[in-house]
Amino acid sequence: MGDIFSLILRGRIRWNDVLNQMYEQGVQSIMIVMLTSLATGTVLGLQGFITLQRFGAKEFIARLVALSLLRELSPVFTSLIFSGKAGAGMTAELGTMNTQDQIQATRVMGVNPIEYLVVPRFLACFLVLPVLVIISEILGIAGGYMIAMSQARLPGAFYIHETLQAVGYVDFFSGFIKVFFFAIIIGWICCYQGFFHPGWGHGCGPFYHPCRGLFLYRGDRVQYGADQNYFNVLGVVYG
């Protein structure tokens, strides 16, 4: 981790490789993120409508969907999907290179393998994941909008107005700030597992599964800390 940040701070970044990785990690992950987010928004809107209708409060569907997605669901779900899609690719690529001694070959040619292989992937992960989360939030709110229109029979203008009224800067940034920590965790763990693959004949599979477990463990700790700070900002401190 120290070598990665040292190279980035010294400006030793291969931007062409970063752009290629942004395409592989970001553009090729957009479709699955969009489908998952739209489904999440529709399910959340439908279940919220069924529950709130019992109390005569179906008008609060927009607030429920928007706040749930922005604070928690979109950052967490998108990061999980990204770690399974792009994170697995990073681990597999670097692990395969290590198995075939390509990383050693870069050292023989006088090229720093961390600068050439790890930094572009790590930096692309850091830049792409926040964009995917914003797309996820928009699609999730759109899914709730469709349910509000078709099932709850709420006017579209009313839904949009309630969404804008419910979401504040603190609500948005409380979830969005976590994304950058998630991106660092995903990029670091996946690159580490692939870069230090010992070259066994079992392939890269056994080294990808710990990536998901480590991200869930460390991501939950980041999420808890961010949520605690969020409640502190609101003045609601839980003992």
In this predicted model, what pLDDT tens digit does every residue of 98-131 receive, in sequence order? 877 788 888 888 888 888 888 999 999 999 999 9
Which bin fits 13, alpha (ψ -120 to 50), beta or left (φ > 0)? Answer: beta
In this predicted model, what pLDDT tens digit does every residue of 53-90 receive, in sequence order? 888 888 899 999 999 999 888 998 898 889 888 888 88
Say what the pTM is. 0.82
How many angstroms separate the Cα of 173 from the Cα of each of 11, 180, 211, 219?
Answer: 28, 11, 26, 17
In this predicted model, what pLDDT tens digit does every residue of 151-168 receive, in sequence order? 888 898 999 999 999 888
Amino acid letter, 219: G
Per the CB < 8 A criterion, the answer to whether 140 and 38 are in contact is yes
Placement of tokens 């670091």 in the chain:
188
In this predicted model, what pLDDT tens digit does every residue of 3-61 receive, in sequence order? 788 888 888 888 999 999 999 888 988 999 999 999 999 999 999 998 888 888 888 99
- Quote the pLDDT of residue 178: 87
- DSSP secondary-structure letter at 155? -
